Amino acid sequence: MILFSNAKINIGLLILGKRADGFHDISTALIPIPLNDIIELNLADKSEEEFSMEQSGIIIPGKLEDNLCYKSWNLFSKAAGEIKVKMHLHKCIPVGAGLGGGSSNAVAVLIGLNKLTGNKLSRHDIHHIATQLGSDCTFFIENKPALAEGRGEILSNSPVSLEGFHMLLLNPGISINTAWAYKKVNPNKKREPLHTLLSKPIQTWKTTVSNDFESIVFKAYPEVASLKAELYMAGAIFTSMSGSGSTVYGLFEEEPDLDPGLKKHLLWQGRL
């Protein structure tokens, strides 16, 4: 079974408060984008390991047990019964880039395992497991534009449509630790609701729609801030860092002519 596991971007990201469970209440708009990892997922023979994973493309460091694909298989097996699988992950979405690649991989594996076993688990079961894997995992189940609140798992219809815009993704090759970024952020509830801001014309977003992680990441990594400034100089209508970084995206009416300094950071571009 071949699965395509896509990335997302955040339009606005407000950190509203620290929760009793250690997470933060947030408000953000999530948009799926056609930058994909590729996963090959197959049932393993009885003589093979319970779970094995090969990697190509961008290699994810660390122990297998810490990988979200493994965690997805482990939770699925506990809920539906043990299943032996072997998988190959070809990764194109950078790690620590603010694009949700790990969460997307985990949900793709979860849905793929359910198909391989004849849909043993209900949609409700899949959703429950996804919430255990990560705050933005539930978004990738439906995989459509949404406003995310709570710790990111409460989804509603998005006020945003980017259809027709040309998007650029720039990545400086820096991996941002999300836990580090959250420790640095100062929550603030007393702001105009994000859905209200996003309901206004995109030309107004430059001065009204913000990502609370930008000030933290830009201070620690000025090169990320430079990418945002240069995208505006290139003619972007709106540009922002996605998630906790380090990827910066720009929205344009037409494909821009980028100078070589920006082209070297180009991760993806296309018409939405």
The tokens describing 201, both together, are 């014309």
> What residue type is 127 in one-letter code?
H
Q: Is 136 considered catalytic here? A: yes
Q: Is 212 a catalytic residue?
A: no
> What token pair was written down for 189?
């509830």
Q: What is the dihedral of CA 237, 243, 244, 247, to 10 degrees?
A: -50
Pick the catalytic residue: 8, 71, 91, 228?
8
The 10 Å Cβ neighbour count of residue 121 is 18
Contact predicate 103/137, CB 8 Å: yes
The catalytic position among 71, 91, 136, 228 is 136
Can you list the alpha helix ranges (DSSP code H) found in the chain?
68-80, 101-116, 123-133, 137-142, 178-184, 194-198, 205-208, 214-220, 222-233, 260-263
Q: Which residues are catalytic?
A: 8, 136
